[in-house]
A and B are shown apart, each in its own frame.
Chain A
């Protein structure tokens, strides 16, 4: 009773907000690459934002819903259909038992998130349901989904058509207002805002100039661990031996070959390359929606501005699903 996978798509794995608190043991945080889309999908089906969603990359899966459930998609547009009918992003849908959800390849963005009301029935490993692909832990059997996997749901809806129709009607009456901070033009901004690292002054003037003026190309071998960028070579004014220290999601490292790497959700907890800057939290989602071949430009902001933008975005997510709350309040007790 859950979702049955016919085609797994290019890379589909369960992710939550991350496996925090264990980096001191060398365990990566992982979690949703686009934490914003992940949270939006969860909110729209009335979930807490820390429940795992299915993160689907570039080419989506095809699956059957083997139990009735309330689902939502957020993030990239992958031409999703539910039993052949187009499915909009950021709307709750009441899926019936036996319906087929099909995602094709991306039209915009790179990652789509599927949330199910009540969440998927996954084991929690070290406080998280995120799949840590490189170490084979968490999520569904520690790996990306494969054909014929059937993942159970935590709380499917009752198989009662009268009730399902009622919830559906109630959901459709709700206008979801997408706040400005969560609208695509804002998320698809060309430049990604970064905060300079303390090693910023150690780079040559030319390097700093290139870093901020050049459109950087995201290389083919970019994935959940990191985005490799292609462009002019960056260099320190004087070679410096770095000691290994913490790295963050968004940290931009410059290895010896001078081609920057942006560390993404699956990055290792520590690293020893010079760091030029770190992407502001608020722009990690837009970065996560870029794919190999896309370009990215960088714009400097300071810590205070980054925090202000981050707070605006978080507040927008918290408000997003408020109009749906009465619906969920009315119906949840009938099936819990």
Chain B
């Protein structure tokens, strides 16, 4: 389904709920559109169920951008997509899951009716994927975790979470790149900077990247933190 948002944005909606297949389709379509270098396009933004194209008017669009973008993506949509088609890297993210770094870990374990160790294992044992970034520079939305991590967000968000907080809700993980408000459950903290303008690529993660969370001790956390600054 193609929707519009104002007069400079078209949105391809490829599903109506979060699942890996829809997410992969979105990532694939976004990568293909980006690669096509279409005239007038200013941003290509994937989310779990949509790909948005923002644009400036261009003669190529023939005065009807919706039709134009529908036409140029016709061959890309409805193609079967598997994960091998997504250009992606595997990135290790060290996370300290000790109590002071994961303030909601006990709550999450209780809600999931399992042990804290089970939650950490669930979070670290398999590769997950960055489906989108948003809200703040470098802030990834990573998934799609198992049922155990299917916990709704807190009813009242916290006003400030520490930089690097790794938090879960609704089978997803977010990592807060700096001190930010947030309503997700914090299960750990990473010492790695998610966004740093001094790097050639400021954002550590991009849509499509695969992520492996690696459990580290608080000593290890501090030594990485020291070497990062």
Contacts and interface: CB of A to CB of B under 8 A. Distances in A.
A interface, by DSSP: helix, strand, loop or mixed? mixed
Contact of B8 (A197, A247, A269, A281): A281
A336 to B, nearest CB: 29
Nearest to B134: A270
A28 B43 CA distance: 11
A245 B203 CA distance: 20
Contacts of B45: 23-24, 246, 269-270
Chain B contact patch, size range: 35 or more
A279 interface: yes
Interface string B17-57: 11000000000001000000000001111111110101001
B136 interface: yes
B132 A251 contact: no
A218 interface: no
B7 A23 contact: no
Contacts, number: 125
Interface stretch (A98-106, A292-300, A303-311, A320-328): A303-311
Interface string A47-66: 00000000000000000000
Contacts of B11: 245-246
A275 B52 CA distance: 15
A26 B205 CA distance: 11
A137 interface: yes
B140 to A, nearest CB: 8
A228 to B, nearest CB: 17
B47 A246 contact: yes
B126 interface: no
Interface string B183-197: 000000000000101
Contact of B6 (A20, A26, A248): A248
A243 interface: yes
A268 B134 contact: yes
Contact of A20 (B42, B197, B203, B207): B42
B139 interface: yes
Given A244-B48, A307-B63, A270 B132 contact: yes
A270 to B, nearest CB: 3
Given A26-B203, A243-B17, A275-B5, 7 more contacts: A24-B30, A26-B136, A246-B54, A279-B6, A304-B64, A306-B7, A307-B65
24 contacts: A21-B42, A21-B43, A23-B54, A24-B43, A24-B133, A25-B206, A26-B177, A27-B203, A125-B197, A135-B136, A135-B137, A195-B4, A197-B3, A198-B3, A243-B18, A244-B47, A245-B52, A246-B5, A246-B9, A248-B54, A279-B6, A303-B7, A307-B57, A307-B63
Closest 7 interchain pairs by CB? A278-B6, A270-B134, A246-B52, A306-B7, A20-B42, A26-B133, A25-B203
